[in-house]
Structure 1
């Protein structure tokens, strides 16, 4: 029983850490696809400069929006600043601003 509880506690801690990555500071990226019928947007996250990489493209993520009006101000190819939360494994945009 003790080992099982330890494993469950570790899994819960990893879940909290993973979801906090979405809620971190504003991220920057480029809009690659907008689906206005399903209120989703795909954003290619731009990596911050690191050794050997001066800010290249990062992971492509798809996010849902709570409000369809968020998508009205942006188009594919636009650079954006955004914030998102993780709800049951689905990323949801909380902020989206065109740069």
Structure 2
């Protein structure tokens, strides 16, 4: 019985930590499109390092927290970004254009 309580406590701790894991920090990508009317940006992730070096996937569409974030960003720019998961849709919380 005691072992079952310990296991259940561990599962509960993991379940609480999952939303924190869902927030990505420091991802790198290539802007493929910006829709200022809908407040969305499409970014194709760029693989860093040599793991899985066979290429990147399709572009993902993210909501933009604030339209001012995309003032100096254009399609074709490399960016670093951070996201948070809000109700099933990913939202860009930080966006920096690389030089």
Alignment TM class, shorter chain as reference = 0.7 to 0.9
Number of equivalences: 88
Q: After the TM superposition, which residues 3-18 of structure 1 pair with which residues of structure 2 at under 5 Å, given as runs?
A: 13=15, 17=18
Whole-Å separation in 1 of the counterparts to 2:23 and 2:96: 16
User: Are the aligned partners of 1:22 and 1:83 in contact in 2 as well (CA < 8 Å)?
Assistant: no
Match of 2:71 in 1: 72
More strand by share: 1
Q: After the TM superposition, which residues 14-53 of structure 1 pair with which residues of structure 2 at under 5 Å, given as runs?
A: 17=18, 19-51=19-51, 53=53
| Unpaired runs of at least 5, structure 1 | 1-5
Larger radius of gyration: 2
1:59 Cα offset (Å): 4.5
User: Are the aligned partners of 2:28 and 2:45 in contact in 1 as well (CA < 8 Å)?
Assistant: yes
Taking structure 1 as the reference length, the TM-score comes to 0.73
Taking structure 2 as the reference length, the TM-score comes to 0.73
Runs of 4 or more, structure 1, over 4 Å off, are: none
| Unpaired runs of at least 5, structure 2 | 1-7
RMSD: 2.5
